[in-house]
Amino acid sequence: MLCLQGPSTGLLCDAVPCPYNSAMAKSWKTRLVHSDVQVPEGYRSLASPVFRGSTTLFPDAASVDDSWDQHEVGYTYGLYGTPTTLELAGKICELEEGHRTIITPGGQGAISLINLAFLKSGDHILIPESVYTPNRKLAYHVLRRFGVETGFYPPEIGGEIKEMLRENTRLVWCESPGSITMEVQDVPAIVEAAHARGVLVALDNTWAAGVYFDAFAHGVDITMQALTKYVGGHSDLLMGSVTVKDPKLYRQLGATQQLLGSAASPDDCSLALRGMRTMAVRLKHIEASALQIARWLAGRPEIERVLHPAVEGSPGHEIWKRDFTGSAGVFSVVFKPDATKAEVLAFVDGLELFEIGYSWGGVTSLAVAYDFHRSKGRPDYGHRIVRLNVGLEDTEDLLEDLDRCLRRVMGRMK
């Protein structure tokens, strides 16, 4: 018989004398598992404790329950989150001002959870052409196998999306700005058209870090973020969140997460919680640095266009001004038409401070060259587009790195 009277320190029999095992003479082998150790109570610190755990203990046999909504029924199983997971979920929800948040093991995991929670065979969904590529591939390769049809729409469609809504359209995805090509979407106009037909709108709000665009105030039903990016902030974890606006959506989402079994690690959640505490200062530095670099690049002879929502002339800049309260550090540049593919690659290779790699939102600046020759619906930038992630390095050093590399690799372009 276990004694489960201990308080939340997780140690058995550490506060209330236990009538069963205190009387028992235990072997050291049993003591390794059932210890009588007591630690002082009342510990407080500034760090969020990391509660790991699969098994969650119940006070008695009759209380055993595997319901997933631990806000309703108390803690039941590690899959639905320990206090560390729920603290992170609560803090994301508080920032986004939604109803509730569920933490997923990655941003892409958040996208698939949304699709699997709200779609069924025979449904139709709409996804912007500028969407994060794995979101597009999930629809095309997996959802299709389960009888969900996908239409792709131009990201700057606005209210005209009503022409693409069908009888069976269930969900419209938005991602604003879009990945790599950075188009800002008229989300309120899309929401209005979708809601007029009872269609849900889900938004990938990763670029805005859940703070620079108030999704729920703009009518969105479901948001997700890759917490991997600015919330984690140090390129050392993968994590995602889904936030919904009301209890009905939350019930559907939570029940699906339970059955998909997609739990995030409490250790990773604690890293995300630590990341959140410094996110405001990181974002502030990154915003200013990225804007300075983007404006400088826009004036360079080698560059045709800068795709940064907060820079004049970028696609959807006016909408960004209307709807957003800040900008992130990831943006793209398009080289002039005579830049060869070899030169664009040599530019990325030649940068010293910008490392080469996917993902973004960490402290290190990154550069990745893309090739959109064969990408349906993307503007015809061909091999000339490079996405930059501005990190926390000194802005003047980053400018010098870019300047030196542009001169060396593309010096002929005046």
Ligand X SMILES: *Cc1c(COP(=O)(O)O)cnc(C)c1O
Identify which of residues 226 and 310 has a Cβ nearer to ligand X in the complex: 226
Spatial distance between the Cα atoms of 200 and 113, rounded to a whole number of angstroms: 15
Spatial distance between the Cα atoms of 412 and 29, rounded to a whole number of angstroms: 76
From 344, 353, 345, select the one nearest 396 (Cα to Cα).
353
Asked if 238 interacts with ligand X (CB under 6 A), we say yes
Residue number with the smallest Cβ distance to ligand X:
107
From candidates 83, 240, 350, 391, binder to ligand X by CB under 6 A: 240
Spatial distance between the Cα atoms of 268 and 274, rounded to a whole number of angstroms: 10
Asked whether 219 and 185 are in contact (CB, 8 A), the reply is: no
Asked if 183 interacts with ligand X (CB under 6 A), we say no
Asked if 226 interacts with ligand X (CB under 6 A), we say yes
Asked if 228 interacts with ligand X (CB under 6 A), we say yes
We find the least distance from the C-beta atom of residue 104 to ligand X, in angstroms, to be 9
From candidates 359, 371, 377, 379, binder to ligand X by CB under 6 A: 359
Asked if 106 interacts with ligand X (CB under 6 A), we say yes
Residue with tokens 């490079």: 386
Q: What is the CA radius of gyration of the chain?
A: 25
We find the least distance from the C-beta atom of residue 13 to ligand X, in angstroms, to be 41
We find the least distance from the C-beta atom of residue 214 to ligand X, in angstroms, to be 18
We find the least distance from the C-beta atom of residue 155 to ligand X, in angstroms, to be 13
DSSP 3-state helix, strand, coil percentages of the chain (rounded to 5)? Answer: 40, 15, 45
Helix (H, G, I), strand (E, B) or coil at 173: strand
* Residue range at the interface with ligand X (CB under 6 A); choices 87-95, 150-158, 221-229, 312-320: 221-229
Asked if 130 interacts with ligand X (CB under 6 A), we say no
Asked if 212 interacts with ligand X (CB under 6 A), we say no
From candidates 85, 112, 130, 179, binder to ligand X by CB under 6 A: 179
* Residue range at the interface with ligand X (CB under 6 A); choices 106-114, 157-165, 208-216, 365-373: 106-114
> One-letter amino acid identity for 388?
L
Identify which of residues 143 and 165 has a Cβ nearer to ligand X in the complex: 143
Spatial distance between the Cα atoms of 310 and 289, rounded to a whole number of angstroms: 13
Identify which of residues 225 and 256 has a Cβ nearer to ligand X in the complex: 225
Asked whether 341 and 371 are in contact (CB, 8 A), the reply is: yes
- Residue 253 CB partners (closer than 8 Å, separation 6+): 102, 113, 114, 117, 118, 222, 242, 244
From 58, 109, 131, select the one nearest 264 (Cα to Cα).
109
233 phi and psi angles, rounded to 5 deg: 80, -5
Identify which of residues 350 and 391 has a Cβ nearer to ligand X in the complex: 391
Helix (H, G, I), strand (E, B) or coil at 364: coil
We find the least distance from the C-beta atom of residue 134 to ligand X, in angstroms, to be 7
* Residue range at the interface with ligand X (CB under 6 A); choices 31-39, 103-111, 261-269, 290-298: 103-111
Asked if 107 interacts with ligand X (CB under 6 A), we say yes
Identify which of residues 107 and 329 has a Cβ nearer to ligand X in the complex: 107
Identify which of residues 18 and 209 has a Cβ nearer to ligand X in the complex: 209
Asked if 233 interacts with ligand X (CB under 6 A), we say no
* Residue range at the interface with ligand X (CB under 6 A); choices 94-102, 192-200, 223-231, 370-378: 223-231
Asked if 132 interacts with ligand X (CB under 6 A), we say yes
Residue 99 CB coordination number (10 Å): 15
Identify which of residues 48 and 108 has a Cβ nearer to ligand X in the complex: 108
Asked whether 222 and 98 are in contact (CB, 8 A), the reply is: no
Asked if 204 interacts with ligand X (CB under 6 A), we say yes
Q: What is the largest CA-CA distance in the chain?
A: 88
Asked whether 81 and 190 are in contact (CB, 8 A), the reply is: no
Spatial distance between the Cα atoms of 22 and 20, rounded to a whole number of angstroms: 6
From candidates 101, 108, 185, 270, binder to ligand X by CB under 6 A: 108
Asked whether 210 and 96 are in contact (CB, 8 A), the reply is: yes
Question: Considering CB under 6 A, how many residues would be counted as binding ligand X?
Answer: 14
Q: Which residues bind ligand X (CB under 6 A)?
A: 106-108, 132, 175, 179, 204, 206, 226, 228-229, 238, 240, 359
